[in-house]
Amino acid sequence: MFSSPWIIALCAMFIWWFATGAILCIVKHADRRGPRAHLRSVILTAPFGLLGVYGFSASLTEATVPGVWIAFASALLVWGWIEHAFLAGIITGPNSYDCPEGCSEFERFFRAWGTIAYHEMLLLTVLIVMGITAWGADNKFGFWTFSVLFIARISAKLNLFLGVRKINTEFLPTPLSHLPSHFRIRPINWLFPYSVTALTFAMTCWFERLYAAETAAATVGFTLLAVFTALALLEHWLMVVPLPDEKLWRWLMPAKDMPAKEKQG
């Protein structure tokens, strides 16, 4: 069952939706309890990241269907914990201030980089370590999964900086409330066509590899990569197409506190 491309695709989409919602839900609940709650949540979820590290390492020699699924899930666990640490404001960058009005593009880029520098350097370090570890391994799908996530994230952040039509800030926690001031709202920017073209090409390559797959493990791996690249492409298009994608996760979020006047009736 878990080697059927259609079942794999449905599982991948559910994992994308659930994992995103779970991280946002944890962060928003911690947000209501203060900075120490964010730190506690990152510490308490650290075992999931460590489990991902162990699973990635153990899956390198397992070119089987279970091995590919373990590699994929492990890459997501590592990625998810780092993203959680970022959203919680624990691993971000040296700049935690709003971008002042009227600054030059160079200064705005420097300030924007300062808001995410430590996080991006950590992701790059993990990517390099994964690449070195997976070199020559039988099962490289964990590394490829992390690579897709990394490249798609860099592309998305650059597009947000240069300007897109829609910037969803609804789920941003308090520690990252300064981030939107570094973004720009524009109909489109010069990088966007290149981003969606590159992602479309990558997705096509994964589908071509899927079509040529000779083993069940390869079928699973390339289906997962193709679907996640397609989801990254969709997320890019949602930056310029005004669709209410936030509704996918809004119902998972904790209810907002009512103003005092409303509580008193």
DSSP 42-105: HHHHHHHHHHHHHHHHHHTT--SHHHHHHHHHHHHHHHHHHHHHHHTTSS--S--SPPPTT--H
* Torsion, CA 95, CA 97, CA 99, CA 105, rounded to 10: -10
Q: Identify the CA nearest to 95 among candidates 36, 184, 178, 38.
A: 178
Please give the model's pTM, rounded to 2 decimal places.
0.92
Cα(30)–Cα(24) distance, rounded to whole angstroms? 10
Burial of residue 27, with CB atoms counted within 10 A of its CB: 0-12 exposed, 13-18 middle, 19 or more buried? buried
More confident residue, 118 or 168: 118
Cα(182)–Cα(32) distance, rounded to whole angstroms? 24
* Structural domain spans, the chain: 5-250
Q: What is the mean pLDDT of residues 54-78?
A: 96
Q: Output the average pLDDT for the chain.
A: 91
* Torsion, CA 231, CA 233, CA 234, CA 239, rounded to 10: 130
Query: Which pLDDT score, from 0 to 100, does residue 204 have?
Result: 97
**Tens digit of each residue's pLDDT (9 = 90 or more) over 210-239:** 999 999 999 999 999 999 999 999 999 999
**Tens digit of each residue's pLDDT (9 = 90 or more) over 91-126:** 999 999 999 988 888 999 999 999 999 999 999 999
Q: Which range (17-31, 40-54, 57-71, 143-157) has the least confidence? A: 17-31
Helix 5-31 to helix 35-59 angle (10° resolution) is: 150
Query: Which pLDDT score, from 0 to 100, does residue 260 have?
Result: 36
Sign of CA dihedral 13, 224, 89, 191: negative
